[in-house]
Chain A
Amino acid sequence: MIGRLLLGVAAATVAGGLSPPAAHAGPSLDAIRERGTLICGANGSRAGFSLVNSEGRWEGMDTDVCRAVATAILGDAEKVEFVKVTSQTRFPALQTGEVDMLAANVTWTLTRDAKLGVDFVAPVFYDGQGFMLPRALGVNSVDELDGATVCVLPGSTSEKVVNDVFRARGMTYTPVVIEDQKELNNAFFAGRCDAQIQSTSGLSASRATVAANPEDYVILGEVFGKDPMGPVVREDDADLRDIVGWSVYALQQAEEFGITSANVEEMAQSEDPEILTFLGATGDLGEALGLSPDWASTMIQTVGNYGEIYARSFGEQSPLQLERGLNALWTDGGLHYPPPFK
């Protein structure tokens, strides 16, 4: 009887149960094509990066990157299956093959890249770590924080940054480690700690949305560390790595060319040979990556260019109202510099 029960459970978990071994060792790309969907690990609880909306649909910049990659490989932005990962489970999920790629606001570091058997591809969001405190404390610089209690997320970049910052200054602090970003925000605004450290994007988001009175809190001007975030893939598939990287660059290049989801068909009639090559009207860029010639044009049509994604995730169309800052294109004084499409 038990055997039958277990069998029933196992047999009926068909969808994702025991998947057959991949056709070749390594190539994740083959597995994606065979399966017909891209499995993408995302956080789901980080405003701007990834959230689940009221209808149960995944939204945010990370999820749009996944949709862009799915469009490039499978020609359909909806052929993505999202898996919720946390900062503890994201790397094991990728390493064990549970997901094909991570778009889970992961900071690119040497150690992670070298030691975890994963490859960071291209930054989609540049961030840094900052401290936020109640204005009433009258603190203007990190140097005045000796003995402070600091709310911090476990296993995050900020946990390491706060440690380094205080050690370098010979100061001490009491960490208040809180698992969940939302709980951490609540704890901070309820006064459980003097300061909280996280990415400046996160700080401004929580100040704008959680604080009863945003004016009462100050984000210190000192920004520590570099937080380039972007998609991560396993090291075993160089083809997939290329496609993910150039998908990100295509989103940015489209913005640089002024190609949007609205005008992509119009731009296909452009006189500019570079734009024609980019959109696949001429040349063989798609073929070089093993994709269809119109991969970039389909991608921009369905997902939009980087600027459109930014606007609806972080910018003026989102509640976060975050300036482009470092995330502007290089032509506008930012850091996004897509390599040439030729």
Chain B
Amino acid sequence: MAEASLRMAPRPPGAVSALRERLFGSRRQGLLTVVAGFALAWVAWQLVRWAVLDAVGPGGTSQACAAASGACWAIVGEKWRLILFGTYPLEEQWRAMLASGLMLAGAALSGIPRLWSARLAAFWAVLLGLVLVLMAGGVAGLPEVGTNAWGGLPLTLILFCCTVTTGLPLAILLALGRRSDMPVVRAICVTLIEVIRGVPLIAVLFMASLIIPLFLPTDLTVDKLLRAQIGMTLFFGAYAAEVVRGGLQAIGTGQYDAADALGLGYWSKMRLVVLPQALTHVLPALMNDILRAFKNTTFVSIVGLFDILGATKTAIADPNWIKYAPEAYIFILVVFLLFCTAMSAYGQWLERRLEHADKL
């Protein structure tokens, strides 16, 4: 609302004169503008000099980097393959690329509100199944590649997509369970949500990777990636459940009564009346959780999985390139920035669209 009224406010006549008024309105303001302007220009110049003018491009060598005073983008040229695809076998790399492409396409399709239906869940089940088979191989003449060799972007995307696609349904169930009339169900959901929300993600992952296997019989090993994935799903589910619960609480009792009056059972009532409204209310907040889930994938590098961050850490352990770690980190910063900005821009678009729909 506030934003809308701001947008409606009449623009002062003459943007240039307004700018001059603001920057050089008085002597002191003028002085401050000049000083700050010079400082900014100096910083910008240093940055350009470091990142562009004195830098060694991606085609360079580590020897050239040692001689140059600027950034060493040669590390990106040398290590991009390790950073983006981890230890996945070089000759099978097309599979990792294709898997990443499939997931990105799937994510883009899922962003179209017209396609939101129960079928989307089935679509993701099929897509992720396809991606996992493509990555693991062992069928249709594809050589088998163990999950230990998975890494980089595909691993990050798999973790992210699986977290969201399994975590969202879990969150809805937990949120419904927390508001259930059945005391046992309610107690289980409340305990699960509060315990998981009460510990850091790192603790959940360490639990999944170090402690759970000690409880299992020694001849039963559950894949490390699967264990980490379950930890991530639970963590996402517990947080998103509270967001969904907020949406549920915003639905007036009238809606429930109306659904009851129509003779709908519990699940039909939730599916047809309550959840569509509740989820629409909390979409922006859910987008926030989804964005965080993407960034949380980097935690798995701690339990020895080569996600983008883990692969980057490994890449910069090379003694020849160890000095140029900042450049490698800047590279993955750009990768993350691209993904997260895209998601956040989409979230804003969605919000505007919903605001518009509200007014109709």
Which residue numbers of A lie inside 8 Å of B, CB to CB?
Answer: 1-2, 4-6, 8-19, 21-22, 25, 37, 39, 44-47, 51-58, 81-86, 88-89, 92-93, 95-98, 180-182, 185-186, 205, 208-210, 318-320
Residues of B with C-beta under 8 A to A1:
118, 121-122, 125, 169
Contact of A81 among B148, B316, B323 (CB under 8 A): B148
Closest B residue, CB atoms, query A186 = B325
Q: B156 at interface (Cβ–Cβ under 8 A)? A: no
Interface residues in B50-90 (C-beta closer than 8 Å to A)? 78-79, 81-82, 85-90
Min Cβ gap B160→A in Å is 13
Interface size in chain B (residues, C-beta < 8 A): 71
Complex CA distance for A181 and B314, rounded to whole angstroms = 11
Apart from A5-B165, A17-B226, A18-B220: 15 A-B pairs, beta carbons within 8 A: A2-B166, A5-B124, A8-B126, A8-B129, A16-B221, A44-B314, A45-B317, A56-B86, A58-B87, A84-B306, A85-B304, A86-B304, A92-B210, A209-B319, A319-B319
Q: B106 at interface (Cβ–Cβ under 8 A)? A: no
Min Cβ gap B265→A in Å is 18
Complex CA distance for A14 and B169, rounded to whole angstroms = 23
Contact of B317 among A14, A18, A21, A46 (CB under 8 A): A46
- The answer to whether A14 and B138 touch across the interface, beta carbons within 8 angstroms, is yes
Instruction: Name 14 interchain pairs, CB-CB below 8 A, sorted by A.
Output: A8-B126, A9-B229, A14-B133, A18-B220, A18-B221, A47-B319, A56-B88, A56-B89, A82-B87, A89-B304, A97-B219, A182-B313, A185-B322, A209-B322
Min Cβ gap A202→B in Å is 11
Closest B residue, CB atoms, query A236 = B218
Closest A residue, CB atoms, query B302 = A86
Q: B225 at interface (Cβ–Cβ under 8 A)? A: yes
Residues of B with C-beta under 8 A to A22:
219
Complex CA distance for A81 and B217, rounded to whole angstroms = 22
- The answer to whether A15 and B147 touch across the interface, beta carbons within 8 angstroms, is yes
Min Cβ gap A78→B in Å is 10
Known: A16-B225, A208-B319. A5 touches B148 (CB 8 A): no
Interface centre among A14, A22, A93 (most CB of B within 10 A): A14
Min Cβ gap B139→A in Å is 9
How many contacts A-B (CB < 8 Å)? 182
Chain B 212-231 interface mask (CB, 8 Å, partner A; 1/0): 01101111111111100100
- The answer to whether B216 and A96 touch across the interface, beta carbons within 8 angstroms, is yes
- The answer to whether B313 and A45 touch across the interface, beta carbons within 8 angstroms, is yes
Complex CA distance for A11 and B133, rounded to whole angstroms = 9
Residues of B with C-beta under 8 A to A11:
129
Contact of A9 among B126, B166, B318 (CB under 8 A): B166
- The answer to whether B213 and A14 touch across the interface, beta carbons within 8 angstroms, is no
Min Cβ gap B93→A in Å is 8
Closest A residue, CB atoms, query B88 = A56
- The answer to whether B319 and A5 touch across the interface, beta carbons within 8 angstroms, is no
Complex CA distance for A146 and B63, rounded to whole angstroms = 40
- The answer to whether B304 and A55 touch across the interface, beta carbons within 8 angstroms, is no
Interface centre among B85, B145, B149, B219 (most CB of A within 10 A): B219
Complex CA distance for A39 and B304, rounded to whole angstroms = 14
Residues of A with C-beta under 8 A to B170:
2
Min Cβ gap A253→B in Å is 30
Contact of B222 among A2, A17, A55 (CB under 8 A): A17
- The answer to whether B81 and A55 touch across the interface, beta carbons within 8 angstroms, is yes
Min Cβ gap A214→B in Å is 12
Residues of A with C-beta under 8 A to B317:
44-47, 51, 181-182
- The answer to whether A12 and B132 touch across the interface, beta carbons within 8 angstroms, is yes
- The answer to whether A10 and B226 touch across the interface, beta carbons within 8 angstroms, is yes
Q: B29 at interface (Cβ–Cβ under 8 A)? A: no
- The answer to whether A39 and B218 touch across the interface, beta carbons within 8 angstroms, is no
Contact of B314 among A19, A52, A89 (CB under 8 A): A52
Complex CA distance for A98 and B218, rounded to whole angstroms = 9
- The answer to whether A2 and B173 touch across the interface, beta carbons within 8 angstroms, is yes
Complex CA distance for A295 and B221, rounded to whole angstroms = 30
Min Cβ gap B89→A in Å is 7
Min Cβ gap A79→B in Å is 12
Interface centre among B87, B137, B147 (most CB of A within 10 A): B87
Residues of A with C-beta under 8 A to B315:
52, 54
Complex CA distance for A16 and B310, rounded to whole angstroms = 20
Residues of A with C-beta under 8 A to B219:
21-22, 25, 97
- The answer to whether A5 and B81 touch across the interface, beta carbons within 8 angstroms, is no
Contact of A89 among B138, B147, B148, B303 (CB under 8 A): B303
Contact of B125 among A4, A13, A14, A85 (CB under 8 A): A4
Complex CA distance for A182 and B147, rounded to whole angstroms = 26
- The answer to whether A12 and B224 touch across the interface, beta carbons within 8 angstroms, is no
- The answer to whether A54 and B82 touch across the interface, beta carbons within 8 angstroms, is yes
Chain B 103-144 interface mask (CB, 8 Å, partner A; 1/0): 000000000000000100110111011011100111000001
Residues of B with C-beta under 8 A to A82:
87, 148-149
Residues of B with C-beta under 8 A to A205:
319
Closest A residue, CB atoms, query B77 = A54
Min Cβ gap B240→A in Å is 14
- The answer to whether A95 and B214 touch across the interface, beta carbons within 8 angstroms, is yes
Closest B residue, CB atoms, query A20 = B219
Min Cβ gap B241→A in Å is 14
Q: B320 at interface (Cβ–Cβ under 8 A)? A: yes
Closest B residue, CB atoms, query A7 = B125
- The answer to whether A9 and B138 touch across the interface, beta carbons within 8 angstroms, is no
The 9 A-B pairs of least Cβ separation, nearest first, read A12-B132, A96-B213, A45-B317, A21-B219, A84-B304, A16-B223, A15-B136, A209-B319, A319-B319
